[in-house]
Structure 1
Amino acid sequence: MKRVHAIIVLMLIAGCAAAQGYDKNYRRLSSGDLTVDKNFYLLTVIDKTPDVKAVLAGNVALKSFLQAKVGILKAHVTDTCSYPASLMPDFFWKNDTASLARELNSVYAANKRAFDKMIDAHLRPSGYYQRFAGMANGVLLGKAWNQCFYGMDYIINQYGLGKRMRYPHIDSVSYVVTSRMYRTTLKDMMSSLAEVSEGFDVFYKPSLAVAMQLMQANDRDEPARLEPLEEGINKAAFDQIKKTDWKKYRYAAIVLPGAGPTLTTTPVSPNGKIHCDMAARRYLAGDAPFIIPSGGYCYPFQGPYNEAVEMKKYLMEKYNIPASAIIVEPQARHTTTNIRNAVRLMVRYGMPVTGPSLFVTSMSQTKYSAADSFDARNIRELGYTPYTRKKQLTNHVIEFYPVMECLHMDPLDPLDP
């Protein structure tokens, strides 16, 4: 009997933890910069929460961090530092994370009510920290801070120092960072930011500004392109979702991954067309009411084509599939995030996610995605698999069930967090 009671208690605890995550009625806050919001939602929320922001801005230790980084920013305007290796490292957090963690823990403990209110009202229901939903507020907040610090360091490494990060073939810096042009750009960036540094009121603002300026210099606004999707390219499908009789379909959606072209003269690659053909067959057979083509601006490097947008055009032109049946997911850059991002849209658009959906593609990609090694890659890169109960049905089709962890933001992929 005691064991039964213990299990019931554990179930109740688990249920409470799950209930503290994503809320479909939550309305996300906006800083005015969607790239910032998607990468660093904690910071957007703090900026919109006056009492928490005031606590952080007034803390003596944190203020010293701010003053030090602003001082470095101003010093770089006139000093002789001209190479990335001498300009960028001072804006990293990696050397300060231990002392910052202690101070931020102390700040949280002393102002628990204000922080808890913010966490419960925004961080949890937003879904951006869904993998932490079962954790206590203080732990969740600490992990959210770590993601912010790591994310800024990642961007500075990639676009400031030119380091080859996770996906260098499509995500790397656009210029030679040691070239005269880029060194001049970095120096001018210091001057430009120094001019507005009086507006940096919280300790993380200088490093955040440097990171965002680096992304801007490299035309890396992918997280914000085509947004808001449901008011633009996805409006017809978004409206149709509300009218759909889901009982008529075995599957909620057909997820269609991209295969980026290698030529700037080719909107859809040869394999991309095969992917579309396979998905169209399944849609026309009545398997699901929606196709979700997924893929961003990936190939060729800094190329003009968005995989998902071009696949939508192909499906409409070749198969007469209506726009109201195609949900564009235009940001995924890899097979792992094709599924993750498609699930994100399904959840946020109010589509059923307790039942199965289909992943439909070419034979070669189906073989790759059905293997255990693909699960291992997801866990290695995302920390989880964006699906459960994966089952290969044919040479072109995999059945899967979505998981809510897909909503979680990823600081290791700043172009598609």
Structure 2
Amino acid sequence: MKTKILYPLFATILFVMNAAGQGYDKNYRLLSSGDLVVDKNFYLITVIEKTPEVKTILTGNATLKSFLQKKVEVLKAHVTDTCSAPMSLLGDFFWQQDTAALVKELSSVYKANKKAFDKMIDGHLRPSGYYQRFVGLSNDVLLAKAWNQCFYGMDYIINQYGIGKKMRYPHIDSASYRVNTRSYRIMLKDLVTSLDEISNEFDVFYKPSLAIAMQLMQANDRDEPARLEPLEHGINKAAYEQIQKTDWKKYKYAAIVLPGAGPELMIPIGHAGKIHCDVAARRYLAGDAPFIIPSGGYCYPFKTPYNEAEEMKKYLMEKYNIPASAIIAEPQARHTTTNIRNAVRLMIRYGVPVDMPSLFVTSVSQTKYSAAPSFDARNMRELGYTPYTGKKQLSNHSIEFYPVIECLHMDPFDPLDP
């Protein structure tokens, strides 16, 4: 019995220590490049672009200049050559073939300019939370892992939206068009030609591949990470303001996390989504928690125009008269694993207490699935950690859990919801 009581408490203490130490800082303000898709997928690059001293070091390095020049030359060659197949046009923009040489050079650059890089790492990468799983590592290792995430992330996007490879979740996240069609090949040729016109602006070695990756996401209408943002100024404005006024001592739970259930038809909300909302509304109306967090993105069916979290919020307000100030929409998660992870991200960044338990409330079928050890294994396999601790099934429709700060860590394996 004592173990069950102390375990969540230990997790809370660990959370606070991490947040106050060399990791996430609630007072840190995220930097912006003007492109939220870039910021969420490649925050290291956003920070470099906003840190003149570090950017100057990278642009002035001869070896890194040669990497840049080679990719610019490839871009220019494709303007006049006869290449038209996706791999022939895009293959040279992958980082995989250059990773070993890059890692060696970037390590040398760090060692020769340690003071400037440490200032950037301690002032931005660590407190941002985007690299929270790396906070126990030394600065040189943390930076190397952050670079590796950038390289892998760009390769992933080019593979998925340029080459047409079936990556992690192809049934909802794959390219919007058949990449081997004549029209797509023409688009790719037009894309590289368009980028050639601005190639003189590519001043850092990562710019050509980053530009290719972002153009491919744009061509496939894949701007999900930026949709509805900034949430706290729009769809979550009323709830965000209410959080600051909430008397948490009145409640047993901090929030009710409500996962989505994408319909098979092209409709706003399906029968499963309504059941999820119904059971969550009952817990809210019973006074269990002051907020419901409906979670789900633009997922099912493929290329749906409807957002699960937004539609569930409408349903809760219209059927149960639950006020907007009590609903924190999380409109980007694409899976049950990231429903919890993303809800926790908002809780942390919005100031919802993390030393209180929260509830995961859903249908009986999804409760059984999420309460099973196999769900923990799936989280470990896909995220590298479980986005909760102290998980305990309470009923057919609810699971108690505590948040973990690792949820802030960005995921290069999911460019639509990093």
Post-superposition CA distance 1:115-150 (Å, at most 9, x none):
000001100000000000111110100000000000
Number of equivalences: 405
**Which residue number corresponds to residue 99 of structure 2?**
97
1:118 aligns with 2:120: yes
1:410 aligns with 2:416: no
Question: Separation in 2 of the partners of 1:142 and 1:333?
Answer: 28
Deviations 1:170-225 (A, max 9, x none): 00001110101100000000000000000000000000000000000000000000
1:83-94 paired onto structure 2 within 5 Å: 83-94=85-96
**Contact kept in structure 1, 2:18 and 2:24, CA below 8 Å:** no
Distance (Å, rounded) in 2 between the aligned partners of 1:25 and 1:17: 10
Greater CA drift, 35-44 or 77-86: 77-86
Q: Deviations over 1:142-172 (max 9, x none)?
A: 0000000000000000000000000001000
Aligned: 1:342 with 2:321: no
> In structure 2, what is the equivalent of residue 400 of structure 1?
401
Give 1:43's aligned residue.
45
RMSD, aligned CA: 1.3
Deviation at 1:226, TM superposition (A): 0.3
Which SS does the other structure have where 2:268 is aligned?
coil
Aligned equivalents of 2:355 and 2:106: distance in 1? 38
Distance 1:314 1:15 in 2: 39
Which residue, out of 66, 72, 86, partners 2:74? 72
CA distance in 2, matches of 1:16, 1:281: 35
**Partner of residue 183 from structure 2, selected from 181, 184, 188:** 181
Matches of 1:355 and 1:65, distance apart in 2? 50
Q: 1:227 aligned to 2:204?
A: no
CA distance in 2, matches of 1:237, 1:391: 27
Q: Distance in 2 between matches of 1:354 and 1:260?
A: 31
Asked if the contact 1:359–1:400 (Cα under 8 Å) also holds between the matched residues in 2, the reply is: yes
The percentage of aligned residue pairs carrying the same residue is 80
Q: Secondary structure at the match of 1:227?
A: coil
Partner of 1:138: 140
CA distance in 2 between partners of 1:147 and 1:85 (Å) = 22
Q: Hey, what's the Cα distance between the residues in 2 that align with 1:368 and 1:261?
A: 19
CA contact 1:347–1:353 (8 Å) conserved in 2: yes
- TM-score (normalizing by structure 1): 0.96
Q: Equivalents in 1 of 2:279, 2:147: separation in Å?
A: 43
Q: Distance in 2 between matches of 1:355 and 1:110?
A: 45
CA distance in structure 2 between the partners assigned to 1:74 and 1:37 by the alignment? 27
Partner of 1:281: 282
Query: Structure 1: any 5+ residue segments left out of the alignment?
Result: 1-10
The residue identity in structure 2 corresponding to 1:237 is A
Q: Please name the residue that 1:373 is paired with.
A: 374
1:48-63 superposed matches below 5 A: 48-63=50-65
8 A Cα contact 1:333 1:416, kept in partner: yes
Q: How far apart, CA to CA, are the structure 1 residues paired with 2:113 and 2:103? A: 15
Q: Does structure 1 conserve the Cα–Cα contact (< 8 Å) formed by 2:29 and 2:128?
A: yes
Q: 1:214 to 1:289 in 2, by over 3 A?
A: same
Residue in 2 that maps onto 1:259: 261
Distance 1:329 1:291, change over 3 A: same
1:269 alignment partner in structure 2: 270
Judged with a 3 Å threshold, the aligned counterparts in structure 2 of structure 1 residues 375 and 18 are, in CA distance, closer, same or farther, namely farther
Kindly state the Cα deviation for residue 15 of structure 1 after the two structures are TM-superposed: 5.4
- Structure 1 residue aligned with 2:172: 170
**Structure-2 separation of matches of 1:175 and 1:276:** 34
Contact 1:18-1:133 within 8 A present in 2 as well: no
1:20 corresponds to which of 12, 19, 22: 22
Q: Counterparts of 2:359 and 2:346 in 1: how far apart (Å)? A: 15
Taking the aligned partners of 1:42 and 1:66, their CA distance within structure 2 comes to 18
Alignment match, 1:8: none
Helix, strand or coil: the match of 1:95? helix
1:75-95 CA distance string (max 9 Å, x none):
011111001021111000011
Deviation at 1:18, TM superposition (A): 6.5
- In the alignment, residue 394 of structure 1 is paired with which amino acid? S
TM-score (structure 2 length as normaliser): 0.96
Residues 137 and 17 of structure 1, relative CA distance in 2, 3 Å threshold: farther
CA separation of 1:333/1:16 partners in 2, compared to 1, >3 Å: closer, same or farther?
Answer: closer
Take 2:19 and 2:405, find their aligned partners in 1: how far apart are those partners?
13
Partner of 1:7: none
CA distance in 1, matches of 2:357, 2:100: 43
Asked if structure 1 preserves the Cα contact closer than 8 Å seen for 2:255 and 2:359, the reply is: yes
Q: Read off the aligned partner of 2:396 and give its amino acid letter.
A: N
